[in-house]
Amino acid sequence: MKGSKKSSKIVVANWKMNPQSLEDARGLFSSIKREVKKVKGVSVIVCPPFVYLEDLSKKIEKGITIGAQDVFWENSGPFTGEVGPTMERDLGISYVIVGHSERRVLGDTDEIVSKKVFSSVKDGLTVILCVGETERDEHGNYLETLKNQIKNSLAKFSKRYLNNLIIAYEPVWAIGKSEKEAMTGPELHGMFIFVRKVLSDMYGQEEVKKVPILYGGSVGSSNASNIVSEGQVQGLLVGRQSLDSENFREILKMVEKL
């Protein structure tokens, strides 16, 4: 999976706080797995709630793996309710989403995100780091905000872990909306270049070529193809539409063709 990261497209399924039972999680995972078998050149990372990780991590196959939706920055100690990177690694998990806007709203500052990113990569996890502006303004200040968010979220990160980094650019204003309200491919391409430039200035142009940049925010079968082809991103982070295996299959089919 890791080796194919550069060439194949990546589609992350972020289930958020769904579904409500292990049985349903198993059912959804099996249906997604069936669809993944039919497509080529797409690596799927399903991120279910913590409680289903152990069970589903035993069911992974070629082309589909499991990731966590969050992680704590310490590995043990008096941190009630938290789960550390070593515990996730111990389940055989290699991916973790860090800094999702829904976690940031609940209190994850850039500093916390940076600590989570660093502990995770140090422990061998590949981080899917979510970044994105909350809103836009006509003066373009959101670009500065985004740049600072990227820099601060990676404040503790070091270049030697670049193989363990995936960026998910998710403009917060486009999350949880209709597909029509998502960013379009051409609009996204400018942002893709911007994010890559910020990373290049930090780590070097050649080095950051290996960091996949994904898009997330109201992706569905009607816009997946335009977003990936015109946006020229390496893949997608899909929320709601990953809870319906038929919709998810359509997205995978679109991405496969590109």
Based on the residue annotation, tell me whether 170 is a catalytic residue of this protein. Answer: yes
Note whether 208 binds ligand PGA by CB under 6 A. Answer: no
Which one, 84 or 239, has the nearer CB to ligand PGA?
239
Note whether 175 binds ligand PGA by CB under 6 A. Answer: yes
Q: Which of 67, 99, 239, 255 binds ligand PGA (CB under 6 A)?
A: 239
Candidates 34-42, 226-234, 235-243, 244-252 — which segment interacts with ligand PGA by CB under 6 A? 235-243
Based on the residue annotation, tell me whether 139 is a catalytic residue of this protein. Answer: no
Which one, 195 or 238, has the nearer CB to ligand PGA?
238
Of 88, 102, 133, 170, the active-site residue reads 170
Which one, 117 or 238, has the nearer CB to ligand PGA?
238
CB of 174 to ligand PGA, least distance (A): 7
Candidates 105-113, 135-143, 194-202, 212-220 — which segment interacts with ligand PGA by CB under 6 A? 212-220
SS (H, E, C) the chain: CCHHHCCCEEEEEECCCCCCCHHHHHHHHHHHHHHHHHCCCEEEEEECCHHHHHHHHCCCECCEEEEECCCCCCCCCCCCCCCCHHHHHHCCCCEEEECCHHHHHCCCCHHHHHHHHHHHHHCCCEEEEEECCCCCCCCCHHHHHHHHHHHHHCCCCCHHHHHHEEEEECCHHHCCCCHHHCCCHHHHHHHHHHHHHHHHHHHCCCHHHHCCEEEECCCCCCCHHHHHHHHCCCEEEECHHHHCHHHHHHHHHHHHHC
Which residues are near ligand PGA by CB under 6 A? 14, 170, 175-176, 216-219, 237-240
